[in-house]
Amino acid sequence: MRSLVLALVASVAIPAIALPTKVLAQAPASASANDPYYKAGEAALARQMAVVPNTGKAKNIILFLGDGMGISTITAGRIYDGQLKGVDGESNSLAFEKLPYSALSKTYSHDTQVTDSAAGITAIMSGVKTRNKIIGLTGAAIGEKCETEKGASVASVAELAKADGRAAGVVTTTRVTHATPAGAYAHTAYRDWEGDGDMPVEARQAGCKDIARQLIEAPDALRLDVVMGGGRSRFLPDGKDGKRADGRDLTAEWLKAEGPDSAYVTTVDQLKAIPAGAKHVLGLFANEHLPYEVERPVLGQGVPTLTEMALSAIDVLSKNPNGYFLLVEGGKIDMGSHLDNAKRTLTETVEFSKAVEAVLAKVDLKDTLVVVTADHSHGLVISGYAARNAPILGLAGNEGEPILAGDGKAYTTLMFATGPGGPEGVDARRDPAKEDMDDVDYHQQAVVNLPSSAHAGEDVGVFADGPQAFLLRGVVEESYIFQVMRHAFGFDAKKK
Ligand SMILES: [Zn+2]
């Protein structure tokens, strides 16, 4: 069905090439024809041959960013997702894995082999590689040096969309001032300057603005129309819920600036009840990051899911007849991995996939480019010959018969390179066979003990469909993703 739709809408249809086929006279005996893998391969070939590149312009672009969602996280996530659904996890696919175009993205930053989220999102959103900790500035800027912000600012695709008369928004499970969402609107020498209380006095006195202020004080023409996530504390005066040193209530200032067709909401019920005419929505659903999905029964009451936020954001942004840009971040995939806690990572990955699935069902790929990627990988590894359909959070080896390592102990299929699961001091390795590996707070083992697991530096995946999505193929620089989005919006033609 998708291929038929694409064939009808592509402005330059490239027909699938039907190669002549023949029956081989001397064909070797083969039992493959009825093999389920063989048949699945035939079906996949037919699907790929029917894909017609959409060479049209994008009215809308939706960028899904799974923070820290490396390839191993995707693989483990698809297995976990399948096992939750009671189907074969290994051959299961997350929603974005079914998109017809994919690429590998090289994530190193301007100054490091392994990027952080600040430099990563700057590459994706603005097309330049910068130094770790820096957002929306070229590599000429130096971390935590306020004076180096001057003259280094780079425009994000969200800002370009706004400047072109479209709507733009950001949805995240982290604080909306955290590195990835800030990549849509902020320009700062230090990602941790989320509120003024997070900044040294000298930086404030030198005129550098905290990230929350940048969000609220952006010029009318560039200010984001939709912002949803956590981080209320950076917008409210110092006190019960707030952490602002300047005493300002930025939520009230935002409402005033945006005018009558705007809504500020703090619960999922309020989000669902926003007036039909609302064109600007600020949703801050927690003081800090939103809770993990596994914490939802206790801490997540009244907090919308990533899926609910993404769908609601599209409803609001779609009111702009010129189109929109939306960044949707699954920000806590990364945070679960920093804990060496695969259960949190995988449940966040499954929710991220659900959000992609719901959005794909809602938008028209004829005029909407959907890109799904990660800013960097994490040190998660899948290893050890567990049997098909063995619980992905369990032991390596056949269930009931774990493979023993040289120290006589079992080990888990999922492990991390570094992090709090690593050995402390000269302690012998923990024996996972004596632990509850399905516990929500379980730390997978790591080679090296660090308070927080370090990011990993191998390439990450890019998955896409819609106008110009076919340009996302091969092995590309992370900063190239910006070029495809800019081109899909048609901004290159307007430059001169
Ligand atoms: Zn991280």
Q: Both tokens of residue 51?
A: 């894909």
Half-sphere exposure (CA, 13 Å, Cβ side) for 473?
Answer: 9
Helix (H) or strand (E) holding 49: helix 36-50
| pLDDT tens-place string over residues 434-452 | 999 999 999 999 999 999 9
Ligand 1 centre to CA of 412 (Å) is: 23
Q: Among candidates 9, 120, 6, 2, which has minimal Cα distance to 63? A: 120
Instruction: Determine contact, residues 477/108, Cβ cutoff 8 Å.
Output: no
**Do 187 and 140 touch, CB atoms closer than 8 A?**
no
Give the pLDDT mean for 403-431.
91
The answer to whether 237 and 251 have CB atoms below 8 angstroms apart is: no
Could you read off the pLDDT of 157-197 as tens digits, one per residue? 999 999 999 999 999 999 999 999 999 999 999 999 999 99
Q: What is the predicted pLDDT for the residue at 400?
A: 64
Match domain 60-379+455-494 to its CATH number in 3.40.50.300, 3.40.720.10, 3.40.630.30, 3.30.420.40. Answer: 3.40.720.10
Q: For residue 413, give the amino acid letter.
A: T
Residues carrying CATH 3.40.720.10, the chain: 60-379+455-494
Q: What's the gap in Å between 69 CA and the centre of ligand 1?
A: 10
Q: Cα of 377 to ligand 1 centre, how many Å? A: 9
Q: What is the b/e burial string over 309-320, where b = at least 16 CB atoms within 10 angstroms of the residue's CB? A: bbbbbbebbbeb
For range 25-42, the mean pLDDT? 92
Interatomic CA distance for residues 422 and 443, integer angstroms: 9
Is there a contact between 362 and 407 (Cβ–Cβ < 8 Å)?
no
What is the C-alpha to C-alpha distance for residues 21 and 445, in angstroms, rounded to an integer? 52
Residue 240 confidence (pLDDT): 79
> What pLDDT sits at residue 8?
38
Q: Specify whether the CB–CB gap between 336 and 421 falls below 8 A.
A: no
How does pLDDT run across 46-71, given as a tens digit for each residue?
999 999 999 999 999 999 999 999 99
CA distance linking residue 149 with residue 321, whole number of Å: 35
Is the pTM for the entire model greater than 0.85?
A: yes
* CA of 363 relative to ligand 1 center, distance in Å: 30
Indicate which residue of 105, 117, 156, 377 is catalytic: 117
Percent of the chain topping pLDDT 90: 89
How many other CB atoms are there within 10 angstroms of residue 361's CB atom? 9
Q: For a pLDDT cut of 70, what percent of the chain falls above it?
A: 95
Averaged confidence pLDDT in the chain:
94
pLDDT value at residue 397:
87
Q: Please give the Cα distance from 441 to 425 (Å, whole number).
A: 22
CB 95 within 8 A of CB 366: no
CA of 184 from ligand 1 middle (Å) equals: 18
Concerning whether 479 is annotated as a catalytic residue, the answer is no
Nearest of 312, 308, 338, 346 to residue 418 by alpha carbon: 338
Residue whose structure tokens are 């991995």: 337
Distance of CA 52 to the CA centre of its chain: 26
DSSP conformational letter for 336:
H
User: In one letter, which amino acid is 110?
Assistant: H
